[in-house]
Structure 1
Amino acid sequence: MDYHLNSLVFNMGEAKRRKDLGLPPREKEFVLPEFNKDKVKQKVRNTLYKYPIIPFVFYGVAIVILFVGVFGVIKYYK
């Protein structure tokens, strides 16, 4: 009874209360979030239709990174 009075006065959290009572930590069920592929596809398509330059920018940046990497390796081994 004394414990319950103290918990009301100090208002400790559940983890501390369980530890004081000698109980194991509460196990939470791990639930993966719902993933809707069709909704994601639609968002990607809408974004690409809204900004049609995105693929060109992406491929341009990828090619620049590839060239910089190749030239860096060639320069390193010369």
Structure 2
Amino acid sequence: MPTICMFYGIIIRMYCAPGEHNPPHFHAYYGKHKAIIDINTCELTNGSLPKKQLKLVLAWAELRQEDLLANWVLAMNSELPFKIEPLK
């Protein structure tokens, strides 16, 4: 699962497999916390992050939604997703 972005101690990853389940999503990690974020809705669907980090991840996802969806298409074709600009 390649890392596509890192910011403020948060790691964003996306699986690269044609059989990966819908809806389009990515995985966010912060310390021992893990969350799955729906790309279409920019909402938490599974797991948890501390409140501050969750707000940062959701804001980043909204800003980078087009890039995330493009990466999802690549990942579903077993291609490596590209790096996405971090939150600044």
Q: Same fold (TM over 0.5)?
A: no
The TM-score with structure 1 as length reference comes to 0.32
Higher relative contact order (CA 8 A, sep 6+): 2
In proportion to residue count, which structure has more helix?
Answer: 1
Q: Whose strand proportion is higher, 1 or 2?
A: 2
